[in-house]
Amino acid sequence: MTNIILLGPPGAGKGTQAQRLVDERDMIQLSTGDMLREAKTSGTEMGKKVAAIMDAGELVTDEIVIGLISEKLDGAQGGGFIFDGFPRTLPQADALGQLLASKGLTLDYVIELKVNDEVLVDRIVGRAAEAVAAGGTARADDNAESLKVRLMEYYKKTSPLIGYYYAKGALSSVDGLGAIEDVAADISAVMGKA
Ligand code: B4P
């Protein structure tokens, strides 16, 4: 069982690459973004609380997100967990370390997807346009204003995790600017054969 973190700014391709790993290696994707979007539509008190925060592009509280992840770690099976969009703060990283240790699990790779801001803006705006063209609605946070906040949140609160995991000897960086297949090949090279 191999457990990995995919780390990178909004639109870096964490969700896209996680989905490939699910298909190719029978891993379990734990996307806090997906969990929170689900909570948003559930009509619960927690859902209402997170909706406004997410739509503005800010980070949901550590307490809520750690609680969501903790619930999912029981009954681990298959090829391992992909932590997609989690942790996003240093307290979340500490909590993940403790949760894994308490369940006898290891963290095998932290893979940073390196991109630049212009590409991120193009991808997010592109995703919103595609959703509308397909007759749906764009994600409430996929607009220029929220993206600015999401990027600031990333640089202030999430990017320190690069140093945190580097110091632990767990960090690998891949070029996230290439085609989806090329990024996937680089991730496979880090993880070794399935
Ligand atoms: P997330 O759902 O994690 O979304 P993301 O960071 O915006 O996207 P990701 O990197 O997964 O990009 P994707 O593959 O989809 O977070 C949303 C919000 O939830 C946060 O702002 C926050 O409010 C909240 N949240 C989530 N986790 C939290 C936590 N731990 N703590 C607190 N709050 C939390 O790719 C984007 C687009 O690019 C797609 O259209 C894709 O097709 C395209 N693309 C991907 N790779 C490409 C490539 N190589 N080339 C060209 N296009 C590519």
The pTM of this model reads: 0.93
Query: Residue 7 carries which DSSP code?
Result: E
In this prediction, residue 25 carries a pLDDT of 94
Q: Based on C-alpha coordinates, what's the Rg of the chain?
A: 16
In this prediction, residue 193 carries a pLDDT of 67
3-state secondary structure 48-101: HHHHHHHHHCCCCCHHHHHHHHHHHCCCCCCCCEEEECCCCCHHHHHHHHHHHH
Q: What is the pLDDT of residues 93-116, one digit of tens each?
A: 999 999 999 999 999 999 999 999
User: In the β-sheet with 28-31, what is the strand arrangement from edge to edge?
Assistant: 28-31, 81-84, 4-7, 109-114, 171-175
Q: Which residue from 10, 6, 7 is spatially nearest to 147, judged by alpha carbons?
A: 10
Q: Is 70 exceeded by the pLDDT of residue 150?
A: yes
Mutational pocket test of ligand 1: of 35, 58, 60, the residue with most ligand atoms within 8 Å of the beta carbon = 60
Q: What is the pLDDT of residues 29-61, one digit of tens each?
A: 999 999 999 999 998 988 998 999 999 999 999
| 38 vs 151: CA distance, rounded Å | 22
16 lines ligand 1 (CB under 6 A): yes
Residue 4 phi/psi, 5° resolution? -135, 155
54 lines ligand 1 (CB under 6 A): yes
180 lines ligand 1 (CB under 6 A): yes
In this prediction, residue 77 carries a pLDDT of 73
In this prediction, residue 43 carries a pLDDT of 87
- What ligand 1 atom has the least distance to the C-alpha of 92? 30
Q: Is 70 exceeded by the pLDDT of residue 194?
A: no
